[in-house]
Homo-oligomer: A and B are copies of this chain.
C-alpha cells in the first residue's frame, strides 16, 4: 500500500567532459529525499593527481578488448526534498548536470536551473535492478544484525533467488524477486519512514529525520507503550508466550488523563515510534515471506540508513514473529537501490549492456549478455558507504 520513489533521469545522460573525465548522474526523488548516484573518474572533484590520471590511462590500455577504460567511483549523496536548492547547487557546483539528473515534481526547476529534461523510470524495476546489482556484484553487501553484532552474509550469486526485498522509504514496498527483471510487488505498508518522521515531527518538533533517530537511542519506550506486564501485574502471559516486556499497545500509556504531550520526553516518544514502525514492518515482511516461501528477506531503503537500533528492532521483530525461523538481512547501500537501479538501467540503454564483476573474486558475473562493462569493487575503508569503486569499459 505504499511506495515512495519516483525515479527520473535526464534524457541527455552520459557526458564525457574531456578525454579523461567521465560523468554520469542519476537523481532519485522519494517522498522526502532526493538521492544522487553519480559516477566520475578520478578528477578534480574526486582525486585529481597525475598518478591517478596516469593510472586511468594505463588501465585503459589493459582493457581485455582494448577499448578505452575509465576508472572511478560511483558516488552516493542525499538531500531532503525541502532542500532542493542545495541539491541543485551541489549538482551545479560539481558540474554533474553536464552528465545528467532527474526528479519529478522539480522537473521545471531542473529545466530552469540546469537545462536538463527528465525521463521517468519504473520504480520497482529500478529497486530490483539496484538490489540484484549490489547483491551479485558487491563484496560484503548483505549482512545480518543482531545484538549489536554485524555479520556479513555469503551470498552465492547462483543461489540468490527468490528473495523478498523490503524497501523502506517514506512508505514500504515488499517485492518478491525471482531473477533479473523478474519480480512482483506483493505487498507493502503505509507505515514507513514517512510515518516515523511525520508523526515524530508533530510529536517532538524535531527538525530532522536523523536527529529524531538519534534521539531514540536515549529513549525508553516503556514510558509510553503499554506492556504485557502493565496489564498482567508485572508478570508474563506465559500461556501464550508473551513476556512482561512485550509491547501490548504502542502508545497505549498515552491514554492517561494525567499527562499531556509536553509531559513526555521527545526521546521516549521517538523510541516508541521507532519500535512501533520497525516491529510492524518486520511482522508484515515475515508474513509475506512465509506466504511465498521466501527464505531470505533483505531490508533496504533510507529509513534504515545503517541505524543500529532500527536494524536491531527489525531483526528482533522478524525473529519474534518467525519464532527464530527467519532472519533479517540488510544492505550496505540500502538507501540507493532505486537510484542505482535507474543508473544501471540507463547505462544498459546507452551502452547496450553491462557486465558487473566482483573484482576481489576475479571472476565475472554476467548481468547482461553483451556490450560494455563496469567492474566494481568495494572501497569500504576510505569511503564508507558513500562510494563504490568501479571500472568502466567504454564504447
Q: Which chain A residues have a beta carbon within 8 Å of chain B's beta carbons?
A: 1-6, 31-32, 82, 104-105, 122-124, 169-171, 185, 187, 189-195, 197-199, 201-203, 205, 207, 209, 224-226, 228, 230-233, 237, 239-240, 242, 246-257, 260-261, 264, 276, 279-280, 283-284, 287-288, 290-291, 320-321
Question: Are the CB atoms of B199 and A199 closer together than 8 Å?
Answer: yes
Shortest CB distance A315–B (Å): 15
Assembly of this chain: how many copies?
2
The list of the 4 closest CB pairs from A to B, nearest first, reads: A194-B252, A194-B249, A198-B254, A198-B251
Which residues of chain B come closer than 8 Å to A287, judged between CB atoms? 284, 287-288, 291
Which residues of chain B come closer than 8 Å to A255, judged between CB atoms? 31-32, 170, 194, 197-198, 201, 209
Question: Are the CB atoms of A31 and B231 closer together than 8 Å?
Answer: yes
Give CA–CA (A1, B240) in the complex, Å. 10
Which residues of chain B come closer than 8 Å to A321, judged between CB atoms? 187
Question: Are the CB atoms of B202 and A105 closer together than 8 Å?
Answer: no
Choose one: B187, B203, B288, B291; the contact of A202 (CB below 8 Å). Answer: B203
Indicate whether A3 sits within 8 Å of B248 (C-beta atoms), given known contacts A201-B255, A225-B190: yes
Choose one: B122, B190, B202, B247; the contact of A2 (CB below 8 Å). Answer: B247
Which residues of chain B come closer than 8 Å to A284, judged between CB atoms? 283-284, 287
Question: Are the CB atoms of B228 and A276 closer together than 8 Å?
Answer: no
Which residues of chain B come closer than 8 Å to A224, judged between CB atoms? 198
Q: A4-B226, A191-B250 are in contact. List 8 more A-B contacts (CB 8 A).
A: A6-B232, A170-B226, A170-B255, A190-B252, A191-B280, A193-B249, A195-B251, A203-B203
